[in-house]
Structure formats: C-alpha cells, structure tokens
Structure 1
C-alpha cells in the first residue's frame, strides 16, 4: 500500500513538474512588482489578498505550526484560492494547492536558467512589510488548464508567503490590442499574417483570445486562430450556440463601417463554458478581422 502511494505521488509530481516547466516561460512574468488588477476580478483580488494577510498574521502569531495548517485544506484555502510558502533558498515549505507535491523540493533546481534568475530576484527582495504582486501562467487545479494567475506575495523573515487568483478571461482592452496588432500585421503583409494565424501562431492566440479573418467579397473564413476547420467555409452560415445568425449579423454590422462589434453566446476555449462573447470587428480592405472577449454576463437579446 505504501509503495503504491509513493508511486502515485511520484507520478503526480512528474506530471506537475512537466506542466510547470512547459507553461511558466520567463516572458510570462510581469516585470513590475505591483501588477495592476484586471477589471472584473476585483472580488477575487480582495479574497486572495485577504487570505495572504490571514496566513502572514497567523504565522507571526503562532510560528511554524501554521505551515502544516496551510498544506491542509482548511482555513487557508477557499474554493478558488490557496496559500503557498517558499523559503529564500527556493524550497517549497507549504501549499494548499497542487504544488503540495513539491514540498521539500528546491523549485529553483527545476527551472531553466532564465527563469531561475527571475525567481531568485523575487526571493532576494528584502523584508519590507509590503505586499507585492506578479502575473504569470500556471496550471489551474480546478480545470487542469494553464491560465493567467495574479499572485500576491510577502516576505516574512526567510519565508515568502503567496496567494493568487486565476484570470481565465481577457479584458476588452486586451482584445482591442490584439485586434489592432492583427490589423496592422495584415495591412503590412496579408498573406504572411494569414498563414501565421492559421498556424496558430501564439502572437495571434493569447489565452482565450484569438483572431479570425473573413474575405468580405467571398463571405468566407480565410484564417482562424483556433478552429482551422472553419477556413474556407461559408461565413454567413455561422451561428451562435443559441442559433443566433452571427455570421450574417457581423457582415451587416461592418457594412459601410471601419469598425463594429457583435455580442452572442459562444464557448470559451479556456473555461470550456458557454459564455457571452463580444467580438470586435475591423475592416482592412476587403477583409474583416475579428477578435472577441468573454464575460459571464448574458448578451443582449
């Protein structure tokens, strides 16, 4: 029985480390020490920060026993948040989440050289009583998918306490930025850009955001950054989950205009749920470029 447990634990650890190493690139870490709260996540931010403050206060009051309590699902975890602790050498000391499998391990040894440097910069910050924050990508223990995470952290002695929340939905501003980048790229080199979109180039596929392009003369998809099977199909026949004829609506919305938007129900590729999606449209010549963002609000009837 013990051998089976150890084997299962080792397998779980290896799977988790593979996810960690493949999905936490250096470029995903934000340089600023106090990353801005994304709109729509204010409640999650308050809960995560409150959980961190509670853990730090308990540790200062009761010391080392609190670390064991953090690693148990209890007062330092919620349905969406958990606290984790590493020391200034990079060893995982406590975690109420999936990183519990890393207890006792030096995380620094598991990272590539560039990421190890970034991690050491966090570990070397002096104790100041200030709560800092970072954004990066991490595996969400609830859905098993890699998502953006906003983490708060604070150094206490030789330990760094942290708690965070996931951001499975990009903001309207981020969607608008991707649309702008795609429009500029197509305006500069259309065929090359269409090829990159169809190859699912990560520049045009950011978390739950992706680009698709429609030939307005043929009224067909000519590029799609998520579902390549749609390329070459009739755009007018596109319908939302509830049957809303969104292909026709988008064509009507952009007719005679440079920009437009349409809201409807669609499946979020990150959460896997049916959510309200607002797609931003921009015309470049005879092409309609589109990027949509998701929310939990229902689209207008």
Structure 2
C-alpha cells in the first residue's frame, strides 16, 4: 500500500485556503472546449490526463451515485500516478480524496478559514450547477516527494458536489524565467549591491518555484549571487561544471562574449524535483555584471531539438 509523504501541519491547515482560491480565483473554461484550456505546452499531456480522469470520475458518480466516493478515496482506477480525484460538497465538507487531503474527509473545511473568507467561499460553492469546467493554478505539497510545488486543477460542479483533479508543475515556463530576469535586471540597475544581497538571502521576490537568479561579476569572474546554492557564492565562475562534467561556466561566458544577451543549454539539478534535468539559461548584462535565470525543460522536449 502506498504511503503518503509526511505532511507538515501548516500545510494541512492551508487546504481550506487552497479550496477558497480554487473557486474564487478560477479561470472558467467552456465544457465543450475544455481541452483547449490555457496550459503550458510542456504539460499538455498531464492536462489531458487530468481532464480525462475528471470526466471518468463524474461519469462513475452519475452511474452509481455516492457509492463512487469510496472508490475515489482508495488506490485504484481513480489514482493515476500523482493525479487523484477529490470531492467537496456545497457546504464545504470534504467527501472524497485519493491523495493526502483524505485526512479531511468528513470535515467541514470552511471552519478552518477566516470568517470573512468563509462567507465568500460558501457563496462560491452555492453557485448553480453548470457544465463548465474550471481551472486554477496554486501551490500544494506533492505527496510523492514531500515538496511544495505548483499545481493546476480542473474541477466541475455536479449536483451538490465539486469534483476536481490536478497535476503538478515542477518546471516553470520560459516566459516566467524571462519575467524574473526582467525584474532582477530592473533591481540590479537601481540597487545592484542591495539586489545581490537579496538574491543571496533567498528573497521570495527573486526566487520563484524552480526559478532563481544568479549573478557573475565580470571584473573578477566570481559568482557574487546565487538564489539556490550559497556554496557557489565567491567561486570562480569559469570553473563551474554541469552535473555531467561539462564546463558550463566557461560556456556561458563564451556565449555572451561581445553580446548583451545570450541563451545556453546544459544539464543541472532541479531544486524542486532534485533530479538532473536539461536546463536553458537566459543571460543578460547589467553594467559589469551578468545576470542569469534558467528554466528546466522536459527531457522529452529536449530530445526533440
């Protein structure tokens, strides 16, 4: 029998806030075009699987009614890898879950949130039933590795219940990496020393999911800031090696030589999955500094190049 990763209490208590954000901050998707929902291209297969599992669960519920809830809450056809079905009723009670939120089955989770938010939560759940599928991104603990990761859920109301299935997003998009780089460059232009200190202090505004900033001082070729591995701070960037032994530091310097911007490819450890993965890094100059942000690509995508 599969064991759940240990879940810190503070994350257990956040489930109600998650459900609130799920319904109040959702992006509405027409049922007939659910497969066209806006998802990151590299996660299209996971999105398709989640929507198929959701449709399968709703069909099963319509066949046998509430008896299906027990099926959703145990290992079987409604738990597929990291994806599972969970159900909440319009009173805010967790009715079924094939994942770690199973510990809330039978409990009214609205009691765990602020009263003012609880009223809004109740109002959202009391909306009329429709054929619409909703989609929402949020952060949640991955029960397979015990790490907090981005997650996207698809959910639909049927009768007095809301059915949902989600999938994890351990890799940020290229556009998210560019956005973080743009923010870092803006801060570096205004307050370079303060920004370097903030990066090294893991400022959440400069560290987002699996994205982080690192900075090289071209006056001495030292790594002066790193938003993930502090052991690299102060090291000779030219000596930096990838996980497969490639001189990635020198490769980056060569790529941006004589240019303001560059893009490099190499193998690096993803801080979310803790696995070596293909990575693409955006480099851009700011005075005598080189500022960089990298994003991880699916191995399948990398093989297509």
Equivalent position SS for 2:103: helix
Alpha-carbon displacement from aligned partner over 1:100-146 (angstroms, at most 9, x marks no partner): 11111122222346764664454233211111111100111111111
Counterpart among 73, 90, 93 of residue 92 in structure 2: 90
Deviates more, 1:29-38 or 1:66-75: 29-38
TM-score (norm. length: structure 1): 0.89
Please tell me the root mean square deviation across aligned C-alpha atoms, in Å: 2.6
* Cα 1:131/1:300, change in 2 over 3 Å: closer
Counterpart among 295, 298, 301 of residue 297 in structure 2: 295
In the alignment, the residues of structure 2 paired with residue 279 and residue 142 of structure 1 have an alpha-carbon distance, to the nearest angstrom, of 28
Paired residue for 2:11? 19
Alpha-carbon displacement from aligned partner over 1:156-180 (angstroms, at most 9, x marks no partner): 1111100011000001111111111
In the alignment, the residues of structure 2 paired with residue 113 and residue 63 of structure 1 have an alpha-carbon distance, to the nearest angstrom, of 32
Paired residue for 1:282? 284
In the alignment, the residues of structure 1 paired with residue 54 and residue 291 of structure 2 have an alpha-carbon distance, to the nearest angstrom, of 42
Counterpart among 2, 25, 28 of residue 31 in structure 1: 25
Is 1:21–1:110's contact at 8 Å kept on the other side of the alignment?
yes
Flag structure 1 segments of 5+ consecutive residues without an equivalent. Answer: 1-11
Counterpart among 203, 206, 212 of residue 204 in structure 1: 206
* Cα 1:275/1:133, change in 2 over 3 Å: same
Is 1:264–1:299's contact at 8 Å kept on the other side of the alignment?
no
Equivalent position SS for 1:57: helix
TM-score (norm. length: structure 2): 0.88
Question: Displacement, 1:19?
Answer: 1.8
In the alignment, the residues of structure 1 paired with residue 101 and residue 71 of structure 2 have an alpha-carbon distance, to the nearest angstrom, of 15
In the alignment, the residues of structure 2 paired with residue 24 and residue 140 of structure 1 have an alpha-carbon distance, to the nearest angstrom, of 17
Flag structure 2 segments of 5+ consecutive residues without an equivalent. Answer: 29-36
Question: Displacement, 1:202?
Answer: 0.6
* Cα 1:118/1:236, change in 2 over 3 Å: farther
Equivalent position SS for 1:84: strand
Equivalent position SS for 2:165: strand
Count of equivalent residues: 291
Paired residue for 2:32? none
Alpha-carbon displacement from aligned partner over 1:82-113 (angstroms, at most 9, x marks no partner): 00001111111000111111111122222346
